[in-house]
Chain A
Amino acid sequence: MKRRTFLQASAAASIPVMINGIPVQAVARQSFLDFVSPENDKILVLIQLTGGNDGLNMVLPLDQYSALSVHREKILINENLGLKLRDDLAIHPSMTGAKYLYDEGKLKLIQSVGYPNQNRSHFRSTDIWTTGSPANVNITDGWLGRYYLENHNSFPYGYPNPDNPDPLALTIGSQVSQTCQGPIANFSMAINNPATMNLLPISEFAENIPSSNYGNELRYIMTALQQTNDYTDVIKMANEKAGGTIPNTGNALLDRMNVVAQLIKGGLKTKVYVVSMGGFDTHANQCDPDDHEIGTHADLLASLAGAMEGFQKALEASGQAKRVLSMTFSEFGRRIKANDSTGTDHGSAAPLMLFGECIDGGILGDNPTIGASVTNDEGVAMQYDFRSIYATILRDWFGLSQSDVARLMYEDFQKLPLISGACTISDVEDAYRDYQLELQTTPNPATDYTTISFKTKDEYVRISLYDSIGSELKTIFAGKINEGNHQINLDISNLPVGNYVIRIAGKSAQKTKILSKI
Chain B
Amino acid sequence: MMDASNLTLSHSKTTKSHTARPLPVNGGLSPYSGPWTYETAAHLLRRTMFGPTHEQIKQVVSDGLTATLVKLTSKPTRQPNPPVTYTESIVDPNVKKGETWVRAALGQNIQGLVQLKENSLYAWMMELMFNETVSMTEKMTLFWHNHFVTSDIYDPRMVYDYISLLRNHSLGNFKQLTKDIAIDKAMLIYLNGNQNSRVAPNENFARELMELFTLGKGETAGPGDYTTFTEMDVLAIAKALTGYTIFTDRNNPDLYPEVRYIQNRHDTTTKQLSHRFNNIQIPNANATEYQNVIDIIFAKREAATFICRKLYNFFIYYKIDDAIEQEIVDGMADILIASNFEISPVLNTLFASEHFYSIEALGCLIRAPYEYMFNTLKTLRFVPPTDLEQKYNLFASIYRNFSGMQQTYFNIPTVAGWDPYHQEPAYHEIWINSATLPFRVAFNTQFVNKSFRARNVTGTFGLDLPEYVKSLSNPSNVNELINEVVKHLLPQPIEQKQKDALKRVLLGNLTEAQWTTNWNNYANNPGNAQAKTAVDNRLKPFFSTLLNMPEYHLS
Query: Which A residues are closer than 8 A to B by beta carbons?
Result: 13-15, 17-20, 24, 26-28, 117, 119-124, 134-141, 171, 173-176, 178, 181, 183-186, 189-192, 197-198, 200-201, 203-208, 212-214, 216-222, 224-225, 227-228, 231-232, 278, 283-284, 339-341, 345, 376-377, 467, 469, 471-473
Contact = CB atoms under 8 A, between A and B. Distances in A.
Given A121-B217, A200-B548, A208-B495, A137 B7 contact: yes
Contacts, number: 225
Nearest to B225: A471
Nearest to B208: A121
B524 interface: no
Interface string B178-219: 000000000000001001010111111001000100000101
B475 interface: no
B429 interface: yes
Interface stretch (B434-442, B461-469, B480-488): B434-442
B16 interface: yes
B438 A117 contact: no
Interface of B: 1-2, 4, 6-8, 10-11, 13-21, 23, 192, 195, 197, 199-204, 207, 211, 217, 219-220, 223-224, 231, 235, 317, 359-366, 404, 406, 413-416, 419, 423-426, 429-430, 432-438, 441, 445, 491-492, 494-495, 497-498, 500-502, 544-546, 548-551, 553-554
B195 to A, nearest CB: 4
Contacts of B491: 214
Contact of B10 (A15, A117, A200): A15
Contacts of A220: 18-19, 366, 429, 432
| B contacts with A: majority SS | loop
Contact of B18 (A24, A140, A216, A224): A216
Contacts of B200: 339-341
Given A184-B15, A184-B18, A340-B200, A471 B1 contact: no
Contacts of B423: 178
A134 B554 CA distance: 36
Nearest to A51: B414
Contacts of B426: 181, 185-186
B275 to A, nearest CB: 17
Contact of B438 (A15, A178, A198, A213): A198
Given A206-B494, A340-B199, A219 B545 contact: no
Nearest to A340: B200
B437 A138 contact: no
A198 B435 CA distance: 11
Given A17-B10, A122-B415, A192-B435, A339 B406 contact: no
Contacts of A284: 192, 195
B498 A217 contact: no
A473 B423 CA distance: 31
A214 B551 CA distance: 9
Nearest to A208: B495
B363 A214 contact: yes
Given A28-B15, A217-B554, A201 B441 contact: yes
Nearest to B504: A204
Contact of B545 (A197, A201, A231): A201
A228 B434 contact: yes
A140 B425 CA distance: 6
Given A123-B414, A174-B404, A467-B223, A191 B217 contact: no
Nearest to B441: A200
A345 to B, nearest CB: 7
Contacts of A186: 426, 430, 433
B2 A19 contact: yes
Contacts of B545: 201, 203
A101 B8 CA distance: 41
Nearest to A222: B550
A269 to B, nearest CB: 17
Contacts of A208: 495
Contacts of A206: 494-495, 498, 550-551
**Which 7 pairs of residues, A with B, have the shortest CB-CB distance?**
A471-B223, A340-B200, A204-B501, A213-B364, A190-B435, A183-B15, A221-B550
A18 B217 contact: no
A339 B195 CA distance: 10
| A contacts with B: majority SS | loop
A171 B435 CA distance: 9
B434 A175 contact: no
Nearest to A136: B220
Given A136-B220, A174-B435, A231-B434, 20 more contacts: A26-B10, A26-B14, A28-B14, A123-B414, A124-B217, A137-B1, A137-B2, A140-B11, A190-B434, A190-B435, A190-B436, A200-B441, A204-B498, A213-B23, A213-B364, A221-B366, A221-B550, A225-B437, A228-B438, A340-B199
Given A121-B207, A185-B429, A213-B364, A203 B501 contact: yes
B223 A217 contact: no
B430 A283 contact: no
A175 B7 contact: no
30 contacts: A14-B14, A26-B11, A26-B14, A123-B416, A135-B220, A138-B4, A139-B7, A174-B435, A175-B433, A186-B426, A189-B434, A190-B433, A191-B434, A197-B438, A204-B497, A205-B498, A206-B495, A206-B551, A216-B21, A217-B363, A217-B429, A220-B432, A224-B433, A227-B434, A228-B433, A283-B202, A339-B200, A341-B200, A345-B202, A345-B204
Given A26-B14, A190-B435, A341 B195 contact: yes
A466 to B, nearest CB: 9
Contact of B492 (A189, A200, A214): A214
A214 B554 contact: yes
Q: Which among A14, A139, A212, A284 has the greatest number of chain B C-beta atoms within 10 A?
A: A212
B544 A201 contact: yes
A216 B434 CA distance: 18
B1 A15 contact: no
A477 to B, nearest CB: 17
A408 B53 CA distance: 51
A191 B435 CA distance: 5
B14 A216 contact: no
B518 to A, nearest CB: 23
A349 to B, nearest CB: 16
A20 B1 CA distance: 6
B204 to A, nearest CB: 6
Nearest to A149: B15
Contacts of B18: 184, 216, 219-220
B549 A175 contact: no
Contacts of B551: 206, 218
B550 A205 contact: yes
B7 A19 contact: yes
A174 B224 contact: no
A332 B374 CA distance: 39
Q: Which among A13, A198, A201 has the greatest number of chain B C-beta atoms within 10 A?
A: A201
Contact of B550 (A27, A123, A225): A225
